[in-house]
Amino acid sequence: MSAAARPRRLLAVCLGNHCRSPLAAVVLADLGGPAVEVRSAGTREKWVGHPAHPDMVTAAAAAGYDLTAHRGVPISPALLEWADTVLPMDAGNLTALRALTDEATAGKCGLYLGDRDVPDPWGKEPDAFADVVRLIEDGAPRHLP
């Protein structure tokens, strides 16, 4: 099947696959519908198999997104190969991804917001999680067909 005949594959990446990238995946999937297939992963393995951060689940639900089924996944060469576009949430994650890419996957990576980071809400007040929801929603259209 050609790339044009299948949904566009988007991979959202953050540090732990615990806050930002799971949210980005559900937002992109919701807004993109059948035109996209979306996954998320983390550059660190601390939260592998764990649900999304409770404050992100709450902030997402307030905006109409369901993160309850999410379980953390580590980034892998197979995921990088699978994706058409890899969307790290910040410059630190972009740097970590560049260390894992090869000639075939390096050109797929670009910051989710293009010219700035999606701030990590980890350890902050619930309002920070709600702010991230808005940033990710606002940035989503640039990645959708």
Q: Let me know if 20 is a catalytic residue.
A: yes
CA–CA dist 29, 35 (Å, integer):
9
Structure confidence at residue 88 as a pLDDT band (50, 70, 90): very high
pLDDT digits (tens, 9 = 90+) for 22-81: 999 999 999 999 999 999 999 999 999 999 999 999 999 999 999 999 999 999 999 999
Structure confidence at residue 5 as a pLDDT band (50, 70, 90): confident
Q: Let me know if 98 is a catalytic residue.
A: no
CA–CA dist 25, 2 (Å, integer):
23
C-alpha to C-alpha distances, 114 to 20, 105, 143, nearest whole angstrom: 15, 18, 10
Class assignment of domain 3-143?
alpha beta
CA–CA dist 44, 139 (Å, integer):
24
4 contact partners, CB below 8 Å, separation of at least 6:
none
Of 8, 14, 19, 39, which residue is the catalytic one? 14
Q: Where exactly are the structural domains of the chain? A: 3-143
Question: What pLDDT score was predicted for residue 4?
Answer: 58
In contact, 20 and 92? CB cutoff 8 Å: no
Of 8, 19, 20, 39, which residue is the catalytic one? 20
Give the mean pLDDT of the chain. Answer: 95
Q: Let me know if 117 is a catalytic residue.
A: no
Of 19, 39, 55, 120, which residue is the catalytic one? 120
